[in-house]
Amino acid sequence: MTKGIFITLEGGEGTGKSTQIKLLQQALSIAGVGVVTAREPGGTDQAERIRDLLLQRDSGTFDPMTEALLLFAARREHLVHKIWPALKKGQWVISDRFADSTRAFQGYGMGLDMQVIENLYQIVAGKFQPDLTFIFDIDPEIGLGRSMKRLKDSALMEDRYERMGLPFHQRLRNGFLEIAQKFPERCVIIDAAQDIQAIHRQVLKVVETRYGVKPKEVQNG
């Protein structure tokens, strides 16, 4: 059986990743591709418990190393119980965040030594890497405004990172852009300030070019 494709969507807060994952999943499914969606931190019951620890407003303050260890523990659960089994079956997996977010948030954002992060990655995932990563880029002020509105409208309390301040989110943006430069073979930068449908068409074009699948555009909403 042919191995599946692992696609990750990365970027700062409020870049529209969740919407684009939904549209991509629908487009690929219509094209006959078996698709599994995922998110990090989270993706399995145990990993979702760690997500609550890290993202909830009242979770408190963690040392950057502690955060990274928690994230990689959740990632290991995610890989072992969801991502790797799906890929082995030949399914495509589309994940809202993966290890690049740890590099950006805990590395560039919080100052954790990048080699420490890479060492943890090797322990947890070995040589495994996403096949394709979309990095959604937007001005942090705009992104934070979008994210806070979404959280307010949904009554979710997962705003711990949003509350870390604009300088932190500017470091995140710079970090994601540097990651894209460091891994050009798998990373594609997307201007997240564009219209939703324009972004969707751009994503589909990249998928078609790389993998020969020709999914048709799906309308949002």
Residue 154: predicted pLDDT: 62
Q: Determine the pLDDT at residue 148.
A: 72
Going from the C-alpha of 52 to that of each of 17, 45, 109, the distances in angstroms are: 20, 11, 20
Report the pLDDT value the prediction gives residue 213, as an integer from 0 to 100: 95
E-assigned strand segments in 12-117: 35-39, 92-96
In the chain, the amino acid numbered 196 is I
Residue 157 pLDDT = 61
Q: Which residue numbers in the chain have pLDDT < 70?
A: 1-2, 57, 59, 150-158
pLDDT score, position 20: 97
The string of DSSP letters for 103-172 reads: IIIIIIIT---HHHHHHHHHHHHTT---SEEEEEE--HHHHHHHHHHHHHHHT----TTGGG-HHHHHHH
Contact 45, 79 (CB under 8 A): no
pLDDT value, residue 155? 57
Per-residue model confidence (pLDDT) at position 53? 85
Which residue's entry shows tokens 């399995």? 44
Q: Domain 6-211: give its CATH architecture.
A: 3-Layer(aba) Sandwich (3.40)
- Burial class from Cβ neighbours inside 10 Å (0-12, 13-18, 19+) for residue 216 reads exposed
pLDDT on residue 151: 62
Query: In terms of C-beta density within 10 A (0-12 exposed, 13-18 middle, 19 or more buried), how is residue 76 classed?
Result: middle
pLDDT of residue 106: 96
Residue 38 has a pLDDT of: 95
